[in-house]
Structure 1
Amino acid sequence: MLPRACVLLALCAVVCAHAHEESPPANDESAPVVRSVSGVFRGSWMASRRGRRFQAYRGIRYAEPPVGELRFQPPKLKLQYSGEVNASEEGPACPQPLPASSYMDEDCLTVNVYTPHTNSSEQLPVIFYIHAGGFYSMSGRSDFAGPHYLLERDVVLVTINYRIGALGWISTGDAFAPGNNGMKDQVAALKWVQRNIAAFGGDPNSVTITGCSAGSVSVLLHMVSPMTKGLFHRAISISASPISKAPMVTHQRHLAVLQAQILKCPTDNTSVIYDCLMKKPWKDFGDSLPQFWLLGPSNPAGLWMPVVEPDVGQERYLSEDPLAAIQHGRLHTVPYIISQTTDEYFGKSFPLFLQNAANQEPIDEESKRIAPISFLLPPENRSTAMERLRELYLHNKTLGNDLEGKKALGRFYGDTVIGFGVHRLANLMCRHSKHPVWYYEFAYVGNNSHYQDPDGKPQAAVHFDDLLYLFTLSYAFPTIPLSSKDSHVVDEMTAMWYNFARYGDPNPRADTPELSALSWPAMTPRQRNYLRRGDQLTVHQNMFEDRFKVWDELYPIDY
């Protein structure tokens, strides 16, 4: 269901160290200072790619450290800070499998705030970004979500960490671990924004939540959760959906048992699992992640995830399946942008199926074994579904390590993990939302990509690629220079986000002339319009529906 984030884990080793280059000493009188109702924060200065100076406040705890007795517990919002808070440096990433020298800690519930605020009385729209990573990797640090493009606009950007892996998502179906603490972390961060963001120049009544992949799933769930009503006002989901081929699960006890086994804990019952895991060092949780994968790195693509919580006396983040909530109108909708890329998982499947000869036969002859792991197909009617889908994508040919095979398998893999769920989400929301829904395909192939061929050339617009033009991603990519052929894409993408954050509509305004040729209609059930972000911005209809109609026949729902 979720992202291919751990393709990036090898890169994390070079980025998850302390970031000092733009951080002044804590007592530097030239550093910007903000005073909110919760405390005083001393930040640092940064500059956009065009040289616009803005303020950065990084590594601010928005909740009490989730350590000791607070491990596996819902977050406790931090309401007051004693003394001046040094917010001039990045906070740690949450535990994940990185080298010992990487800057990580279980005490990782931090927020970064970037603002062009110049003590003006005007409040700016807030963009609140929820990072990708399959709920088990990555972070909201500036190396994964740099502000240098968006802060050329008059917006306040907020990026966050939330607990990942077992520390954030363990769910045993009972009172010991009902689940969703990672989502409740995000809620706490949204409450922190409501309480504090005005001091940073942001408008608490104009908050746009946005996220990619796991963050995209989070965005829709916040519309369904009773805990988040009134905390945001617009939403953007990039490349993932919590609604796809099967209902959301109510627990993941099997993963709790596996985590216990990996860390040499008893598994007799939930109580002993919980007690033992409470005593384990935090680093053991991050280091154990690769042992959850069954067919190589990041496979299965979906692992830890949100659940529909049992009622065991707690405040529940999710009390019903999101599909049912949407169908019955039990959600709080806002203006919404939904997207997917042209070739979401192009390249992700190659090492697993095509470059490993031992795995070619299983995908051709033993689909019952491979399908539930890699293609995330529900057990009901699995063999029939696999037969139809093999015919649709692979034309029942034996796979080979050639471009035709790569494209066919990559599209199959991308549609089952990302594409069909996004299609389903867009078609549901344009029917049931009280607000407009805009849909787009990111098809632009620039100088860089999260998949490159052996010669280092981008081959397709893949998962995460639209982030290249919204954030600086210094973990792996250079900042796009103004002289680059890709520069106009940065200007156009940030302009659409800027307009949407201000007005709930991405279409051009007088102060965004780079969008002057754009006329992007909202999606409706009868006119299923979408914007194609290729070399140009063009409007089309019925995105990939020739393929998705087969999926809809295999996994029918009432739209």
Structure 2
Amino acid sequence: MTGQGVRLVLLSITLSVAVAQRTVIETTTGKVRGKVLNLYGRQVVAFLGIPYAEPPIGPLRFKPPQPAKNWTSVFDAFKYGNSCYQIKDTLFPNFTGSEAWNANTPLSEDCLKINVWMPNPPPADKTVMVWIYGGGFWYGTASLDYYDGKTIAAIENVVVVSMNYRVGSLGFLALGHPDAPGNMGLMDQNLALQWVQKNIAFFGGDPQKVTILGESAGSVSVGYHLLSMKSRSLFSRAIMQSGAPNCPWAFITNKEALRRGKAFARAVECPTTVPLAQTIECLRSKPADYIIANEWVTSDPIFRFPHVPVIDGTFITEDPKTSIRRGNFKKCSLLAGAVKDEGTFFLIYGAPGFSKQTESLISRSQFLEGVKMSVPETNSFGVDAIAFQYTDWLKENDGVSNRDALDDVVGDHNVICPLNDFAHAYASFGQAVYKYSFEQRASNLVWPKWMGTPHGYEIEFQFGLPLEPKRNYTRDEANFSRRMMRNWANFARTG
């Protein structure tokens, strides 16, 4: 072998060792080893399933999270952690449209893990984007294909983070007691954001350039972090997609939370006429799968969920509408928006006359019944006023017109109007607010065409799924996805 050949081999070995060394990062709790990914002519190191909290099991069930303890050996962060215990959507068996949102890793209470995607070689002082998933606070997981951070990390040269947080009763049971205060899922997110502040510099991120973003309940969560004094110092900017804390499904009173909590306790055969500490002790003794199988204790209709945020006196200290009106929120730039057809995804889950197997051409009477179901807190006068406002009186009995009108009722009431109110409040207090409306329907979307661009279906574009040839998007969609990633990353970089 020539001297030049030896030098080339040594150089190759040196580079390989250097790359391997970069995959091990020392965090404040221990060393983690990531996996190198080669994509689009670049490298990203994925660190998946890093513990950021102690498992909330046994006496820690229903309690605020505790920081993870230190470990001594290198933690192999090669795969996603467990998904937090949750119900799965089984209404449409073997249908990818709904099942793609179901948890895709084993269910466990030992689920409080964080994921980081780092450009390689490691950057310095790079923008950080922290994703919070949605799911109505009753399901969701950071490991879904939709939320894979590798592509945007590679294309936009940013550090991407996501975390799992508790959902359902295990994350939001609120009994007005220190052992079950409510909002545990939000506190999980807060602890993950604290982890980011302490550790993200080790991954090349700048803790002073952290943007939090989320969709649906994830967007609501972003809003609560903007409102909560506990979170305001942990990030710099925010992106809210299809949700806000003032949405009618995103908050319940303490009285209603206690009513639901006791109904839930009775459903799992725990006493409710004894001191709350005894009720909670009984609830802790029940298997997690039994807990989640019995947690849906409400019969609320469209776009309502059983266990959601409350005023706990620590993380949330007042009604979110009051905070918004008073300007009691973090002052920062905000990007907010929604998709074109926010209501259709929820209409097929119980609105009269709606089905994914048909065109859902509903009658006038079905439209009126749907309006009543969609605004359960409104009296008959309010229902009549809403029906009047949304009726096309030249097409009063037209099935398409009635169907599309009910989509607008559900979308406006539950997403668009509250989010607009939140954004307008921000602007009125002098903050930079950017609004968007997302109307791109993916060419390979499996939901029926009448559903348009449904709730949640901007996410695949912002995370770059159309760039993957195996997913059968068009070239135009890939280019559109690149533009969306650039816009979101540019906002995170500069506001």
TM-score category by the smaller chain? 0.7 to 0.9
User: Is the 8 Å Cα contact of residues 480 and 487 (structure 1) preserved in structure 2?
Assistant: no
For residue 79 of structure 1, report the CA deviation from its aligned partner. 5.4
The answer to whether the aligner puts 1:58 opposite 2:48 as a matched pair is: yes
How far did 1:419 drift? 1.6
Q: 1:39 is matched with which residue: 14, 17, 30?
A: 30
2:420 maps to which residue? 423
Q: How does 1:288-437 map to 2 (within 5 A)?
A: 288-289=294-295, 291-292=296-297, 294=299, 299-310=302-313, 316-350=314-348, 352=350, 353-355=352-354, 363=366, 371=372, 374-379=373-378, 382-395=379-392, 402-432=399-429, 434-437=430-433
Is the contact made by 2:132 and 2:214 (CA closer than 8 Å) also made in structure 1?
yes
- Structure 2 partner of 1:232: 235
Shift in Å at residue 436 of structure 1? Answer: 0.5
User: Matched residues in 2 for 1:464 and 1:347: separation?
Assistant: 9
Q: CA deviation at 1:377?
A: 4.2
Report the counterpart of residue 262 of structure 1 in structure 2: 267
Matched, 1:468 2:471: no
In structure 2, do the counterparts of structure 1 residues 355 and 320 end up closer, same or farther at CA, with 3 Å as the change threshold? closer
Q: 1:157 aligns with which of 160, 163, 166?
A: 160
Deviations 1:165-208 (A, max 9, x none): 00010112344422111111011000001111111111111100
Equivalent of residue 452 in structure 1, options 444, 447, 460: 447
Choose 186-195 or 264-273, whichever is displaced more.
Answer: 264-273
Mapped to 1, the partners of 2:249 and 2:142 lie a distance apart of 29
Q: Give yes or no for the alignment of 1:502 onto 2:472.
A: no
Kept in 1, the 8 Å contact 2:85–2:288? The answer is yes
| CA distance in 2 between partners of 1:55 and 1:246 (Å) | 38
More off after superposition, 465-474 vs 492-501? 465-474
Q: Per-residue displacement from partner, 1:66-100 (whole Å, max 9, x unpaired)?
A: 11111111111225322211111110111112499
Partner of 1:273 in structure 2? 279
Indicate how the Cα distance of structure 1 residues 295 and 227 shifts in structure 2: closer, same or farther if over 3 A, else same: closer
Q: Which moved more, 1:140-149 or 1:395-404?
A: 395-404
| 1:350 positional shift | 4.1
**Change over 3 Å in CA distance of 1:65–1:281 after alignment to 2:** same
Q: How many residues align?
A: 453
2:279 match: secondary structure: helix
Q: 1:530-541 to 2 correspondence within 5 Å?
A: none
**Could you tell me which amino acid in structure 2 is paired with residue 149 of structure 1?**
T
1:490 to 474, 477, 481: 481
* 1:183 maps to 2:178: no
- Equivalent in 147, 150, 161 of residue 149 of structure 2: 147
Which residue does 1:441 correspond to in 2?
Answer: 437
Q: CA deviation at 1:503?
A: 1.0
Q: Distance in 2 between matches of 1:163 and 1:80?
A: 22
Q: Structure 1 residue 91 and structure 2 residue 104: aligned?
A: no
2:63 is matched with 73
Is the contact made by 2:219 and 2:242 (CA closer than 8 Å) also made in structure 1? Answer: yes
Mapped partners of 1:443, 1:365: distance in 2: 27
Cα gap change, 1:446/1:249 in structure 2, threshold over 3 Å: closer, same or farther? closer
In the TM superposition, residue 30 of structure 1 has moved relative to its aligned partner by 8.2
Whichever residue aligns with residue 462 of structure 1, its letter is: P
Measure the CA separation in 2 of the matches of 1:395 and 1:281. 51
Inter-partner Cα distance in structure 1 for 2:27 and 2:392: 61
**One-letter identity of the residue aligned with 1:492:** R
Distance 1:144 1:445, change over 3 A: closer
Tell me if structure 2 keeps the 8 A contact 1:97–1:288: no
Partner deviation per Cα, 1:88-113 (whole Å, 9 max, x = no partner): 11101111124999511001000010
Q: Which of 136, 139, 142 is equivalent to 2:138?
A: 136
Amino acid paired to 2:71: Y
Q: Judging changes above 3 Å, is the alpha-carbon distance between structure 1 residues 37 and 247 closer, same or farther for their aligned structure 2 residues?
A: closer
Deviations 1:393-421 (A, max 9, x none): 23589997943332111111111221211
Cα distance in 2 for residues equivalent to 1:396 and 1:176: 54
Residue 10 of structure 2 corresponds to which residue in structure 1? none
Gaps (5+ residues) in structure 1? 1-27, 311-315, 505-559
Q: Give percent identity, aligned residues only.
A: 29
Q: Structure 2 CA distance, aligned partners of 1:198 and 1:165? A: 33
Deviation at 1:33, TM superposition (A): 1.3
Matched, 1:204 2:207: yes
Matched, 1:285 2:280: no
CA contact (8 A) 1:56 1:112 kept: yes
Q: Secondary structure at the match of 1:112?
A: strand
Deviation of 1:242 (Å): 1.3
For 2:353, give the aligned amino acid: L
Cα root mean square deviation, aligned? 3.1
Residue 286 of structure 1: CA displacement? 2.9
Give the secondary structure class of the aligned counterpart of 2:336.
Answer: strand
Larger radius of gyration: 2
Determine if contact 2:168/2:292 at 8 Å carries over to the other structure: yes
Q: Which secondary structure state, in structure 1, belongs to the residue aligned with residue 475 of structure 2?
A: coil
The C-alpha deviation readout for 1:425-476, integer Å capped at 9, x for no partner, is 12111112x4311011111123144x721xxx575122111102012679xx
- Which one-letter code corresponds to 2:414 in the other structure? V
Q: Letter of the aligned partner of 1:442 in structure 2?
A: F
Code of the aligned partner of 2:148: G
Q: Is the 8 A contact 2:166 2:185 kept in 1?
A: yes
Distance 2:439 2:197 in 1: 35
Residues in 2 aligned to 1:72 and 1:273: alpha-carbon distance in whole angstroms: 12
Is the contact between residue 215 and residue 456 of structure 2 (CA under 8 Å) also seen in structure 1? yes
Alpha-carbon separation, structure 2, partners of 1:326 and 1:202: 31
1:117 Cα deviation (Å)?
3.5
Shifted more, 82-91 versus 187-196: the winner is 82-91
Which one-letter code corresponds to 1:169 in the other structure? Answer: F
Tell me which moved more, 346-355 or 78-87.
Answer: 346-355
Matched letter for residue 461 of structure 1: T
Tell me if the contact between 2:217 and 2:250 (Cα under 8 Å) persists in the aligned partners. no
Residue by residue over 1:133-155, the C-alpha shift from the partner in whole angstroms, topping out at 9 and shown as x without a partner, is 01110111143411243121110
* Greater alpha carbon shift after TM alignment, 327-336 vs 227-236: 327-336
Q: 1:351 to 1:113 in 2, by over 3 A?
A: closer
Alignment CA distance shift 1:38-1:347 (3 Å): closer
Q: 1:170 to 1:233 in 2, by over 3 A?
A: same
